[in-house]
Structure 1
Amino acid sequence: MAQDIRELFKNEQKVTQEKMPENHQERFLEKLNDAMPVKRKTNFSWLQIAASLIVLLGLSFGAFKYFQPSIPVAPTNNVVETKTVETKTLGDVSPGLKKVEDYYLASINLELSKMKYTPETKDVFDGYLEQINVLNKEYENLSVELTENGPSELTVNALIDNLKYRLNLLYRLREQLNELNASNTKTEGASQSI
C-alpha cells in the first residue's frame, strides 16, 4: 500500500506535460453560457423596496414618539394629579449629617415653642417669621438640588448654613422679644406707680 512519493511526482509530471487543445477555454465558456439561464440584473426588486420603506417608516415613527415632548393630558374628572418628588435631606447623605440636621431642626422647633406671641410684639414676630419662611423655601430648593445633582460640598454646606441662619434668627427674635417685654414691664411699672 505504501507508495514512494517520488514516483508519484514523476508520474504527475508526465500528465501535466500534455497540452490542452486550442480554444478549449472558449468552447467551455460557450457551453457553460448555453447551459446556464441568463439572469436579468436589477439593483432592487420590489420586495427590497417595500422592506426598506417598512423599516424607514418604523424608525421614523419610533423617533417621533421618542423625541416628542410629553404633553400632559388633563384628567376627565377635573381632579389635578400632582407628583410628589421625594427630596433628599442631609440625613440621606450620611449619618453624621443627619445628626447635624436633627440638632438644628430640634433647636429651631424648641426656640419656636418658647416664643410668646403678643399683640405688642406682632410686627417684630411677623418680620422674623417672614425671613424664616424665605429661608425655609431656600432650604427646600437646596434639597431639590441635592436630590437632582447628588451631594456636593457646596450644597451640603449651603443646607447647614441655612439651618444656622434660621436658628440665629430665632435667637435674635427671642432677644428682641425679651427686650420688648422688659421695656413693656418697665413702662407698666412706671405707669402704675404714678
Structure 2
Amino acid sequence: MGQDLRNLFEEDQKDQHIKMSKGHEARFLQKLENEFPKEQKSASRLKILNIAASVVLLLGLGYGGYQYLKLPVESVEPIKVVNTEMKSLGDVSPDLKKVEDYYLASINLELSKVQLTPENKELFDGYVERLKELNDEYKTLTIELNTNGPNEATLDALINNLKFRLNLVMRLKDKLQEFNDDAFSEERV
C-alpha cells in the first residue's frame, strides 16, 4: 500500500500532455505586469496614509496625556531665593523708618515712665501680655512683608500695630495714674 509520492508525481506529469496556446505565457506575464504596478502604487499610498494616521494618533495621545497629567498653573509656585536678612518696616523706605523709630521710641519711653508697685502689678501684667500679643503680630506681619514684598495692606497693618501698641501703653499709663490717684485719695481719708 505504501507508494512513493515522488513516483506518483512524476507519472502524473508524464500523463498530462495539455499544451497551452501559443503566446499564452507572454500574454499572462503582460497582464500581470500591467496590474502589479497599480497595486504597488495604491499600496504605497496606503502605507503613507497608515504612517500619517499613526503620527496623528500618537500626537493626539501625547497631547491628551499631557493635558491629563498637567498640574494646574496656580498650584505651581516659583522657587524663591531665601533672604537670610529680615526686612522691617524701616527697610522699605526712609520715611517708614522714621515712623517706625518714632513709635518704638515713644512706646519704650512711656514704658520706662511706668512705676511698678505691688498694688498695680496685676494691671501692669495684663497690659504687658496684650503688648506681647501685638508684638508677635508685628513679627508675623514682618514675615509677611518679607514673603510677599511690600504692599499697601501689609504696610498699613504694620503701622496700625505700632499705633495700637503706643495707645495701649498710653492707656496703661492713664490707668496706673488713676489707680495711684485712687490709692492716694484713700490714704488721705
Q: CA deviation at 1:85?
A: 4.4
Residue 146 of structure 1 corresponds to 145
Q: Secondary structure at the match of 2:146?
A: helix
Cα-to-partner distance string for 1:25-53 (whole Å, 9 max, x where unaligned): xxxxxxxxxxxxxxxxxxxxxxxxxxxxx
- 1:180 matched to which residue of 2? 179
Unaligned runs of 5+ in 1: 1-83
Q: Give the root-mean-square deviation of aligned CA atoms.
A: 1.2
Q: Are residues 1:163 and 2:162 paired?
A: yes
Q: Which amino acid letter does the alignment assign opposite residue 99 of structure 2?
A: V
Give the residue type in structure 2 aligned to 1:133: K
Structure ranking higher in helix proportion:
2
TM-score normalised per structure 1: 0.54
Q: Deviations over 1:132-179 (max 9, x none)?
A: 000000000000110111100000000000000000000000000000
What amino acid sits opposite 2:160 in the alignment? D
Give the share of equivalent positions with the same residue, in percent: 59
Deviation (angstroms), 1:86:
2.5
2:80 pairs with 1:90? no
The within-5 A match list for 1:23-62 is none
Whether 2:89 is the aligned partner of 1:117: answer: no
What amino acid is the match of 1:176? Answer: K
The structure that has the greater radius of gyration is: 2
Output the CA distance in 2 between the equivalents of 1:145 and 1:183: 44
Deviation at 1:123, TM superposition (A): 1.1
* 1:10-29 correspondence runs (5 A): none
Do the aligned partners of residues 103 and 130 (structure 1) sit closer, same or farther apart at CA in structure 2, a change above 3 Å counting?
Answer: same
User: Residues 67-126 of structure 1: CA distance to partner in whole angstroms, max 9, x if unpaired?
Assistant: xxxxxxxxxxxxxxxxx9421111110000000000000000000100011111011100
